Amino acid sequence: MIAERTGYIIWFNDWKAARALDKYGTLHYMSRKMNYAVLYVNAEAAEDTVRNVQRLPYVRKIERSYRGEIKTEYERNVPDKTRFYGL
């Protein structure tokens, strides 16, 4: 069974030092220009991991990602008009 994961956006000051964030979870993306990283961690150990990451000297701010809570299934209420414009 796949473990439940939680995403965090980590804002940092030093890009080279921030590459070490992969030991705290799955490092999905790092932006050099905007100085942030997307880190996924197990949901059960998320609070402990966030506390440990917050103590790092190069971390400015940590935000929780709401990507898992956004609705991704859409309803189509508009009728399909392609058959009216066909050849």
pLDDT tens per residue, range 21-32: 999 999 999 999
Which pLDDT score is estimated for 33? 95
Q: Is residue 87 part of a domain?
A: no
Q: Is residue 83 part of a domain?
A: no
Q: Is residue 80 part of a domain?
A: no
65 burial level (CB within 10 Å; 0-12, 13-18, 19+): middle
Residues of the chain above pLDDT 70, percent: 97
Q: What's the total number of domains in the chain? A: 1
pLDDT tens digit string along 40-58? 999 999 999 999 999 999 9
pLDDT at 70 over 60: yes
Q: Is residue 37 part of a domain?
A: yes
Q: Is residue 38 part of a domain?
A: yes
Separation of CA 55 from chain center: 20
CATH number of the structural domain spanning residue 56: 3.30.70.80
Q: Is residue 27 part of a domain?
A: yes
Quote the CA–CA distance of 25 and 57 in Å, as a whole number. 18
Which residue type, as a one-letter code, is found at position 7?
G
Q: Is residue 44 part of a domain?
A: yes
Range of the domain at 10: 5-69
What is the dihedral sign for C-alpha 57, 9, 29, 48?
positive
pTM of the shown model = 0.78
